[in-house]
Amino acid sequence: MTIALREFITRRKKELNALILAHFYQPPEIQDVADFVGDSLQLARQAAETDAGVIVFCGVSFMAESAKILSPDKMVLLPEIKAGCAMADMISANGLKNLKEKHPGAVVVCYVNSTAEVKAESDICCTSANAVNVVKSIPADRTIIFVPDRNLGAYIRSRTGREMILWEGCCPVHDRLGGEEVRNQMKLHPGAKVVVHPECPPDVIQLADAVRSTAGILNYVKTSPEKEFIIGTEEGFLYTLQQNCPDKVFHLARQEFRCEDMKLTSLDKLAAALERLEYQIEVPEDIRQKAYITLERMLKVN
C-alpha cells in the first residue's frame, strides 16, 4: 500500500506541477517523498522561488499561511487541516493590539511561529535563526515587544542585552524539557555535545554547548568534528540528522519529545490532498499585505 501511495503521489504531483514541502519534524515517510525538507521559513521561501503552481505544505497551519503570504498566486494546500501550533494559538491579534495600546511607539517583533493576523499587527518578523540579528537591527532607544515565545525572547535578551516586553507564550514541547533531564543525559553520555533549540527554557539553554534553530542544529552537527550529540528538539528531527550524518550518534534530551500536530500528516492524507486539492489555505488580502511587509522587513536584515 505504501508503495502504491508513493507512486500515486509522484504521478499526481507531476500532473499538478506541485511542490511538496515537509518540515524537519514531519514523519520519516513524509520527509522521504518531499521535494524539500527544512524549517518553516526556509520552506516558504522555496515555495516563493519555485515555478510550481501548487504548494503542498506538510507541516502546521502557520507555515502554510506563511507560504501563502509570500506566494499569493499559488495554490497552497495543508494535507491535515487540524495541524495547528499551540504556541501560535497563545496569542491573538486583539491581544497584541491591547498590548500595543499599553506601550505606544513600541516596535513589535513577532516570531514566525504566529498566525497571519498576528504578523499583520507586528512591525517585523523573525525566525529562531535570525532573531538576535533582527533585535540588534532595532534602534537602542526603541521599546521592543516580543511575541509570542517567552523562551526565545529570554534567549535573545541574553545575547543582545536588550530589555523586551515578552508575551507569556511558549512551545509546550520545548518548554517541557528541564535542566535535570539534560543533566541526566549528560551523565549517560559523557563527552556528547549538547545542542538545543532556543525555544527551550533558560535553565536548558545554560547547559548547552550550542543553541541553534533546527537548520542551525543540522549545520552544527554536519560541520562538527564530534561524533556524539544530545539533541534538544522534537524527535522527528533525529531522522533528518541520521540521514545527513550516518556516522554520528544522537540522543534525545528527553524521552517524550513529540509534537503531535506535526505527526498528523500521513501518506494517505498527502495523497488525498493531491487528489482533491484540499485543504486550500487562504489569507485575506488586507491581512496578507500587512503580514508580507513584516516578513519582507525581516528578509532585509543580514
- Closest alpha carbon to 94 in 67, 115, 125, 64: 115
Task: Read off the pLDDT of each residue in 8-18 and give the average, rounded to a whole number.
Answer: 96
pLDDT average, residue stretch 65-74: 94
The domains found in the chain, sorted by start residue, are: 2-85+262-283 (3.40.50.10800), 88-170+289-299 (3.40.50.10800), 177-255 (3.40.50.10800)
Q: In what order do the strands lie in the sheet with 18-23?
A: 36-38, 18-23, 54-58, 75-77
Place of cell 514531519: 26
The answer, yes or no, to whether residue 202 has pLDDT greater than 90, is: yes
Claim: this prediction has a pTM higher than 0.85: yes
Predicted local confidence at residue 302, as pLDDT:
66
- Give CA–CA dist 302/43, Å, rounded: 19
**pLDDT of 10 higher than 90:** yes
What mean pLDDT is predicted for residues 221-242? 97
Mean of pLDDT over the chain: 96
48: pLDDT confidence band, cut at 50, 70 and 90?
A: confident
Q: Compute how many other C-beta atoms are within 10 angstroms of the C-beta atom of residue 185.
A: 20
| Bridge partners, 146 (sequence order) | 109, 166
